[in-house]
Amino acid sequence: MKHKIFIELAYIAIIIYAIWYISDIQHRLSVAHGALIEQREMLKTQQDTIIKQKLLIDALEKYIIFSENGQVPLYIDKGKSPIYNEPL
């Protein structure tokens, strides 16, 4: 009779440990997921910055070509890029 009680207590202890272990894993996954989301946002920001830098470099290259040919890029419309004539 005493052995059954110890066996049942052991089962209960195993179940409690399993629940704790699973919740610990869930917590770690949640923290890792949050870190991945932050990294993804940082990468998006960096990607946007790189795209803007590439556009600026392209615009400067065109401006240098204008300058070398003795031409001056003009603002055809206010609020538009002098090089591409596109909205800023």
Amino acid, single-letter form, for residue 46: Q
For residue 81, tell me if it sits in a domain: no
Query: Do the Cβ atoms of 46 and 53 come closer than 8 Å?
Result: no
Indicate the average pLDDT of the chain.
Answer: 81
| Number of structural domains found in the chain | 1
- Long-range Cβ contacts of 26-32 (<8 Å, 24+ apart): none
Provide the residue range defining the domain that includes 58.
Answer: 37-72
Per-residue pLDDT tens for 47-83? 999 998 988 887 777 766 666 666 655 544 555 555 5
For residue 11, tell me if it sits in a domain: no
Q: Give the mean pLDDT of 8-36.
A: 95
Share of the chain residues as helix, strand and coil, in percent rounded to the nearest 5 = 75, 0, 20
d(CA 26, CA 28): 5
Query: Do the Cβ atoms of 81 and 59 come closer than 8 Å?
Result: yes
Q: Per-residue pLDDT for 26 more than 70?
A: yes
Q: What is the pLDDT of residue 61?
A: 74
Q: What is the pLDDT of residue 68?
A: 60
